[in-house]
């Protein structure tokens, strides 16, 4: 069991609930609806610091770790049904034993299946065309009103009714709590091939990087260190264009950079656009804070991660004001979160999003204020 928490982004935690059954979870939700209690769901807590500060004087932590972590692999069907509290690492280990994997992000230690579906992080080892939400086949979700519901199914193709699975992916638990998921299993690559190259400057690095993209790498990361630019590309099938192959662990450098927390009160920020936008995004960020604060440039994902000092965030948001890039503050001090919506400028469909929240969670029980537009 994880320690009790004192606050979530500066908002005091008044109580911690640890339901051990879905019935108990339902009761807690119903009671919260009556009493006006704000619940912040959590499990592995790997991303509890993500999102806006809750809009409440105090919150109760809803620790879902006790809800069981069954893993039901069906290799012939190519699917797995898994309890939402299951650690991603446990699922991937079980899948590996039968020669399979899933598109769940494995970067953050302690992350759970439910939390990863809810926050839908970009996967370092992927391209934009390989998103987790496309591999979530079915979900069991407890509504804010405490009702158990199902959506999707246990088959790989399904157009029966609205596609709610995609709606819950990346909804940060603000529309309902994922309690079980059925995911597609993917073949475990026989071998992983990693290449590392160095370039004198960003121009040379990008020139090569965009060529490398044609070889469809499963991961492409660039960063600058001691004046040079490093590029690491990762492949799950042998790249056809030859070239040097290095130890697969070279990719760990990229992972470590992502896991290294920002220093001196800076915020970890993801600035994203189209693949080609990363050139301009990198240049803009470097101009604002210098190359050394760029954590990773990920052309296949159209994203740049950087550690931005609080006082520069306003300039960054202004730079992305026309909406062509999205800015997301992944981690920041409560003071920063008080000043900025961490999701940046809300999309133009915010009105619809608010309408959805009102219908799915009329009492505002689930993580009020934490989502985009402080929904």
Partner 1 sequence: MKNRSNNSASTSLDRPGLLRVLRGIAGIGEVLDRPADLFAYESDGLTLMRGKPLAVVVPLDRNAVAETVRACNRASVPFLARGAGTGLSGGATPIDGGVLIECSQMNRILEIDPVNRTATVQPGLINAKLSEAVHELGLLYAPDPSSQTACTIGGNIAENSGGPHTLKYGTTSPHVLALEVVLPDGEVVSLGRRDGHQVGYDLRGVFVGSEGTLGIVTAATVRLVAIPKQVCTMLVAFDSLRAACEAVSMVIARGIVPAALELMDERTIKVVEDSVYAAGYPRDARAVLLVELDGDEAEVQADRVRIESIMHERAAIEVRVAKDAAEAAAFWRGRKGAFGAMGRLAPDLYVHDAVVPRTRLPEVVEEITRIAEEEGLLLANILHAGDGNLHPNICFDRRDPDEMERVRRVGDRILEICVNAGGVLSGEHGIGLEKRDHMHLMFSEEDLDPMRWVHDSFDPDDRCNPGKQIPTPRACTESNPRHRGYDKVEF
Please, are residues 281 and 349 in contact by the beta-carbon 8 Å criterion? no
Query: In the window 15-34, what residues touch partner 1 (CB under 8 A)?
Result: none
The whole-angstrom separation of Cα 236 and Cα 123 is 14
The whole-angstrom separation of Cα 246 and Cα 265 is 36
For the CB of residue 158, give the shortest distance to partner 1 in the complex, in Å.
Answer: 5
Nearer to partner 1, 65 or 279 (CB): 279
Query: Does residue number 166 form part of the binding site for partner 1 (CB under 8 A)?
Result: yes
Cβ neighbours, 10 Å, residue 199? 18
Query: Does residue number 77 form part of the binding site for partner 1 (CB under 8 A)?
Result: yes
Query: Does residue number 149 form part of the binding site for partner 1 (CB under 8 A)?
Result: yes
DSSP state of 346: P
For the CB of residue 269, give the shortest distance to partner 1 in the complex, in Å.
Answer: 14
60 contact partners, CB below 8 Å, separation of at least 6:
13, 14, 15, 16, 17, 32, 37, 38, 39, 40
For the CB of residue 188, give the shortest distance to partner 1 in the complex, in Å.
Answer: 7
In angstroms, how far is CA 214 from the centroid of its own chain? Answer: 26
* Among the listed residues 229, 185, 165, 161, the one whose alpha carbon sits nearest the alpha carbon of residue 95: 185
Query: Does residue number 161 form part of the binding site for partner 1 (CB under 8 A)?
Result: yes
Query: In the window 301-340, what residues touch partner 1 (CB under 8 A)?
Result: 302-303, 326, 328
Helix (H, G, I), strand (E, B) or coil at 202: helix
Query: Does residue number 12 form part of the binding site for partner 1 (CB under 8 A)?
Result: no
For the CB of residue 184, give the shortest distance to partner 1 in the complex, in Å.
Answer: 10
Cβ neighbours, 10 Å, residue 99? 12
Query: Does residue number 244 form part of the binding site for partner 1 (CB under 8 A)?
Result: no
Query: Does residue number 249 form part of the binding site for partner 1 (CB under 8 A)?
Result: no
Pairing of strands 267-272, 193-199: unpaired
Query: In the window 260-299, what residues touch partner 1 (CB under 8 A)?
Result: 272-277
DSSP state of 174: S
Q: Which stretch binds partner 1 (CB under 8 A): 3-11, 61-69, 159-167, 200-208?
A: 159-167
Residue from 66, 68, 153, 309 that binds partner 1 (CB under 8 A)? 153
Helix (H, G, I), strand (E, B) or coil at 18: coil
For the CB of residue 265, give the shortest distance to partner 1 in the complex, in Å.
Answer: 25
Cβ neighbours, 10 Å, residue 305? 26
* Among the listed residues 372, 238, 296, 292, the one whose alpha carbon sits nearest the alpha carbon of residue 107: 296
Distances (CA, A) of 320 to 92, 284, 304, 305, 345: 37, 10, 13, 15, 9
Residue from 3, 157, 226, 261 that binds partner 1 (CB under 8 A)? 157
Query: In the window 353-372, what residues touch partner 1 (CB under 8 A)?
Result: 353, 355-356, 358-360, 371-372
Query: In the window 81-120, what residues touch partner 1 (CB under 8 A)?
Result: 99-100, 120
Query: Does residue number 237 form part of the binding site for partner 1 (CB under 8 A)?
Result: yes
Nearer to partner 1, 260 or 358 (CB): 358
For the CB of residue 14, give the shortest distance to partner 1 in the complex, in Å.
Answer: 28
For the CB of residue 183, give the shortest distance to partner 1 in the complex, in Å.
Answer: 14
Query: Does residue number 240 form part of the binding site for partner 1 (CB under 8 A)?
Result: yes
Number of H helices, E strands in the chain: 10, 18
Q: In which element (H, E) is residue 114 found?
A: helix 113-119
Task: Write out the two tokens for 12.
Answer: 């005091």
Q: Which stretch binds partner 1 (CB under 8 A): 8-16, 103-111, 252-260, 352-360?
A: 352-360
Query: Does residue number 203 form part of the binding site for partner 1 (CB under 8 A)?
Result: no
Residue from 133, 255, 257, 374 that binds partner 1 (CB under 8 A)? 133
Nearer to partner 1, 87 or 138 (CB): 138
Residue from 39, 61, 65, 171 that binds partner 1 (CB under 8 A)? 171
Residue from 107, 188, 258, 310 that binds partner 1 (CB under 8 A)? 188
> What is the dihedral sign for C-alpha 233, 235, 240, 246?
positive
């Amino acid at each position: 069991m994880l320690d009790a928490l004192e606050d979530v982004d500066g908002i005091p935690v008044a109580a911690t609930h640890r339901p051990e059954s879905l019935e108990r979870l339902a009761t807690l939700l119903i009671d919260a609806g009556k009493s006006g209690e704000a619940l912040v769901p959590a499990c592995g807590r790997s991303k509890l610091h993500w999102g806006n500060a809750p809009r409440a004087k105090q919150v109760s932590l809803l620790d879902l770790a006790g809800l069981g972590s069954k893993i039901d692999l069906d290799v012939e069907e190519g699917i797995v049904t898994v309890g939402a509290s299951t650690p991603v690492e446990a699922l991937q280990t079980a899948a590996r034993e039968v020669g399979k994997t899933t598109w769940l992000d494995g970067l953050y230690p302690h992350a759970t299946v439910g939390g990863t579906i809810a926050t839908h992080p970009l996967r370092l080892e992927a391209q934009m065309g390989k998103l987790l939400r496309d591999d979530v086949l079915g979900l069991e979700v407890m509504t804010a009103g405490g009702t158990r519901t199902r959506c999707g199914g246990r088959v790989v193709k399904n157009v029966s009714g609205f596609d709610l699975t995609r709606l819950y992916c990346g909804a940060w638990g603000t529309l309902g709590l994922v309690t079980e998921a059925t995911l597609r299993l993917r073949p475990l690559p026989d071998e992983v091939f990693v290449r590392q190259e160095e370039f004198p400057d960003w121009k040379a690095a990008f020139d090569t990087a965009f060529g490398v993209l044609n070889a469809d790498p499963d991961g492409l990361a660039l960063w600058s260190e001691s004046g040079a630019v490093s590029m690491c590309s990762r492949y799950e099938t042998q790249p056809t264009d030859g070239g040097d192959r290095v130890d697969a662990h070279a990719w760990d450098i990229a992972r470590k950079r992502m896991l290294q927390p920002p220093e001196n009160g800076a915020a970890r920020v993801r600035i994203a656009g189209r693949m080609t936008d990363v050139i301009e995004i990198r240049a803009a960020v470097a101009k604002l804070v210098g190359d050394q604060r760029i954590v990773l440039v990920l052309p296949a994902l159209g994203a740049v991660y950087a550690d931005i000092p609080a006082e520069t965030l306003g300039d960054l948001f202004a730079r992305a004001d026309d909406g062509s890039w999205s800015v997301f503050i992944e981690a920041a001090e409560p003071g920063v979160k008080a000043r900025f919506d961490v999701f940046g400028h809300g999309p133009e469909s915010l009105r619809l999003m608010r309408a959805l929240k009102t219908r799915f969670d009329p009492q505002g029980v689930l993580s009020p204020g934490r989502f985009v537009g402080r929904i």
